[in-house]
Every structure is written in structure tokens, then in C-alpha cells.
Amino acid sequence: MMFECVYSTSDYSDMVFLVSMSFNKVMVAQYNSTVGKFVGFTEQGEKNAEYWNKDQAFMQDLKADVDTVCRHYAQVLDSSVRDKTVKPKVKISSVKQAEGNHPAVLMCSAYDFYPEKIKVSWLRDDKLMTSEVTSTMEMADGDWYYQIHSELEYTPKSEEKISCVVEHASSTQPIVKDWNPSMPESDRNKIAIGSSGLVLGIIIAAAGLIYYKKKSSGRILVPN
């Protein structure tokens, strides 16, 4: 038997209380507070559900548990967790370029977040993508933080918009990262490194010129 309180809003307005009963890993019957009764999924489960639904006192207790159990403990637990949340760092990278009939592969990575529970999804032109997505489980870094990686296989199209959406308790709004296919990441890194080197070179050259002029202005030229 499993008791679950499921919700996604901060005011608990969408709170759902579930009581699931299973035998040998097969769901027999389940109570859902939004339905307001037990539903059987096997022959025996249907008989049990019919019996439990007739017990008005039992059903009233389950209905009240949405407030007395779910909302109550959600408030207690959320207040202790939300103060300790750490927002994930989100990054999209190209794993594989499209070649012939082979699709391109993007990877969305979320790093250094807490707590463990997180949801990563992909959007293509603001539409949810599901069949092309492969995800890994949340992995512990060993320092109380977690990471997760999700890969997307797709065939690139011109003027399309691909986004990685991360939902986590540390942020009241989904974290959206858009993919910029205009330039491969390796090339962007080379340009950034080259630009940094050029700026540093200009600074050093300017400093040398200023130093030389100051030294020259203090000299008295004596003809031989």
C-alpha cells in the first residue's frame, strides 16, 4: 500500500491524495481524491473498491486527509526544503552534427542543483517533444548536489526554435535555455579565446608604449 500527496502549485490548490494498493507489483485498486472513490483494476480490486466505497465514514476520512495530512505536511516539508534549494546551472551543447540520414544530437545538462527532484523537457517551436528524447536519472555529485543530462535527436530545420526547459523547486518559473545553432560550440570557444588573447595583447602593447614614452621624456639627448 502506498500513500502519495501529489501537487505542483505553491498554494496546494491542485493537491491530490492517492492511496494505491498493489499485489505482486500489479495495481489492484486506487483511491484518488479528485475522483472521490476507489477504482478497481483487477477482478478482486473491483470487489474491494465496491466494498470500501460503501463505507461512508472511511470515505469521509480519506477526503479529509487532503487537508489534514497532505496540505499540512506539504507546508512543513516545503518550508524546510525551499530555504535550502540551489538553482541548477543549465547548458545546451551539440553532441553530434546531422550527417546524411543520421539526425543531429543535442544535450541539455543541469548541474549543481538541490534537492534531487527535477524535470527536464524539450520544446521545438514551443511544442513539447517526447519520442526523440532520452534522459538519464538524476546523479549525485557526491557533495549533496545533483546533475542530470537529457539528449535530443532531431533533424535540423531552418528558422526553428529548440529550447530545453528545466523545472526545479529552486525556481518559481521554468528555466528555459534556447539552442543557438548559428555556430558550433567549439568554434565559439575558439573565437572567445582568440578575442581574449587579442585584447590582452593590445593592453600589453599600450602599456609598453606608455612606459617607453615616459622614459623617453625624461632623457636629455647630448650630441657626440
Least confident of 54-58, 83-87, 202-206: 202-206
Strands (E), 12-126: 16-23, 26-32, 37-40, 89-96, 104-113, 118-124
DSSP H helix total and E strand total for the chain = 4, 13
pLDDT digits (tens, 9 = 90+) for 86-128: 999 999 999 888 777 778 899 999 999 998 889 999 998 899 9
What CATH code would you report for 2-82? 3.10.320.10
Amino acid identity, position 108: C
pLDDT at residue 109, rounded to an integer: 94
- Identical fold for domains 2-82 and 89-178, yes or no, is no
Cell numbers describing residue 96:
553530434
pLDDT digits (tens, 9 = 90+) for 145-168: 999 999 988 888 888 899 999 999
pLDDT at residue 186, rounded to an integer: 54
How many angstroms separate the Cα of 103 from the Cα of each of 69, 100, 129, 139, 154?
Answer: 49, 8, 15, 27, 5
For the chain, domain boundaries: 2-82, 89-178
pLDDT at residue 41, rounded to an integer: 95
pLDDT digits (tens, 9 = 90+) for 191-209: 456 556 666 667 776 666 6
Assess whether the previous peptide bond of 115 is cis (omega < 30° from 0): yes
Is 180 a residue whose pLDDT tops 70? yes
- Residue environment code for 87-96, b if the CB has 16+ CB neighbours within 10 A, otherwise e: ebebebeeee
What CATH code would you report for 89-178? 2.60.40.10
